[in-house]
Amino acid sequence: MLGQMMDQPLLISSIARHADRRFADQEIVSFTVDNPRHRYTYRDAFSRARKLANALARHGVEQGDRIGTMAWNDYRHFELYFGVSGSGLVCHTINPRLFEDQLVFIINDASDKFLFLDPMFVGTVEALLPRLDNAPQLVILTDDGHMPETSFDAVSYEAFIADESDDYDWPLFDENTASALCYTSGTTGNPKGVLYSHRSTVLHSFGVSLPDVFDLSAKEVAMPIVPMFHVNAWGIPYATALTGTKLVFPGPKMGDPAVLQELIEEEGVTNSAGVPTVWQGLIAYLDATGKRIDSVKTLVGGGSAVPYSLMVAYEERYGVDLVHAWGMSETSPLGSMFHTSPALEKLPEEERQKARASQGAPPFGVELRIVDDEGGVLPQDGEAVGALQIRGPWIASSYFSADGPGTVGADAFTADGWFDTGDVASISPLGYMHIEDRAKDLIKSGGEWISSIELENTAVGHPTVKQAAVIAMPDEKWQERPLLVVVPEEGATIDAAELLGFFNGQVAKWWIPDAVAVTDAIPLTATGKISKLDLRKQLDAGKLTVQSPATA
């Protein structure tokens, strides 16, 4: 027997219509290329999103067409999220930091009909155009007065929507319709497209908004410092509209702690999300200037492991909860997030600390499991370590491909309906998941493995270390041993023997790296993560000066 309730599709436009009705006067504040403090309301945003939908329709796009964006976090990009997806088109967010070959691949693979770009990406796009198969129409996200010189035909965004009516009825369609597309920047092979749906996005927005997740409501002020071109800024722009949260966008200033602190203080930001390097940069700035971020309740850190020492520093010096979250492009990205529970509070201090340093527990909607090499499910006892798999209504079931589902990366999806994340983890009896490593970054020493993440987190707790990365070094006896690569704090000198001595008592003795290499900069990927592939190449090419205190 079926339930007898209305079959209302979960559409992104239903979020827009709700925000329009309930939170019309709530503010959206943006730092943009042409205005350091643009402010308007949800009413304005959705009115302009509807004009955009009319403009696109006038240009003959059809349901399912991909509309590319290459832009930072600001109000125009927000309008694109809703105007494009809401009208049944697919909002394809493109990471401008990718290499040219990857950009060419993904724009061709997606067959974008339009490309909406920030003025600062004109040069990038100029270089790509001769290599694109399907000449997308180009719109620059500015007004006529700020149009940059271009060697290609383009209109300004403001001119594109200027003469349109904001009278537009958001169409109704199947909630499983594709809404957005984002490519993962794999370190090997071509990037793979993740195709989100309206249903997955709306359900994910509920998940993100929960009190034990981002805790969003009309009383809060959220600032996503995660790019809207990478996993939809962790879904925050949809979730804030769903809950009526005031939104603050840092535009191209995501890496500028002075602007971030100013926006937090002046706009009263209560919740923010970013990768650990953002939080490291901000706390260094606060420490150096004596400035504060007193309005903040919660900072969410994810994308790579947040060092426990950083969480403690925020709590002790600024009274701010820096909370750990984990996810991937394929998981929308919310996979797990730390929050405490009465059961955890009853455990000894050491266990509570371990849980807080972990990547947290899955919210409703997500299930996690770990499996051994043969696919056997391992116990959630906090000890067993295995390949991390995930399933749920906002987890990818296959990768996008013009040749149809299942033609790309099919081996990441198991026969019994789980996605294999490529991460290696343990899960505690209370459900707290601890990422040990990316499977390919684990160091295999004498048949046992060592977690590079654990060693990196320990190293950045040392006062002379600004940044740390651990990679495997070939070893005759053990096959692989850990090499610690560090960038020193400004003015600090690294004493390799003393630094390695610091690991004593913090990690198993045989995990302690054998050697240290000091460098000026650790290479990063297009999504700002440590590029271990490039570090390994540097090591192979003899570009790292390796100090081995034991044999020195």
Using CB under 6 A, list all residues that contact ligand AMP.
184, 231, 302-305, 324-329, 333, 359, 421-423, 435, 438, 527
Q: What is the DSSP letter of 370?
A: E
- Token pair of 138 as six digits: 């180009």
Nearer to ligand AMP, 18 or 529 (CB): 529
Residue 97: CB minimum distance to ligand AMP, A: 12
Cis peptide upstream of residue 257 (ω within 30 degrees of 0): no
* Least CB distance to ligand AMP at residue 230 (A): 7
Given CA atoms 499, 500, 501, 505 in this order, what sign does their dihedral have?
positive
Of 88 and 386, the one with the shorter C-beta distance to ligand AMP is: 386
| β partners of residue 524 | 530
Minimum distance, C-beta of residue 430 to ligand AMP, in the bound complex (Å):
18
Q: How far apart are CA 308 and CA 356, in angstroms?
A: 8
CA dihedral 320, 321, 326, 330 (to 10 degrees): -60
Nearer to ligand AMP, 442 or 515 (CB): 442
* Backbone CA torsion sign across 233, 236, 238, 240: negative
Kindly give, in sequence order, each residue whose CB lies less than 8 Å from that of residue 321, ignoring residues fewer than 6 positions away: 297, 298, 299, 314, 315
Please calculate the CA angle 344-345-350 and round it to the nearest 5 degrees.
80
Place of tokens 């610690």: 484
Shorter beta-carbon distance to ligand AMP: residue 238 or 279:
279
Smallest gap from residue 389 Cβ to ligand AMP (A): 12
What minimum distance in Å lies between the beta carbon of 302 and ligand AMP? 4
Torsion, CA 404, CA 408, CA 412, CA 414, rounded to 10: 40
- What are the Cα distances from residue 202, in Å, to 52, 196, 508, 530? 21, 10, 44, 32
Min dist CB 441 to ligand AMP, Å, is 8
Beta carbon of residue 440, minimum distance to ligand AMP (angstroms, whole number): 10
Q: Which is nearer to ligand AMP, 104 or 226 (CB)?
A: 226
- Which CB sits closer to ligand AMP, 387 or 518? 387
Nearest by Cα to 91 from 102, 77, 109: 77
HSE-CB at 255 with a 13 A cutoff on CA atoms is: 5
Q: Rounded to whole angstroms, how far apart are CA atoms 65 and 56?
A: 11
Assess contact for 327 and 336: CB atoms under 8 A: yes
Residues with catalytic roles: 184, 330, 444, 449
Residues 378/389, Cβ–Cβ less than 8 Å: no
- Residue 329 or 398: the one with the smaller Cβ distance to ligand AMP is 329
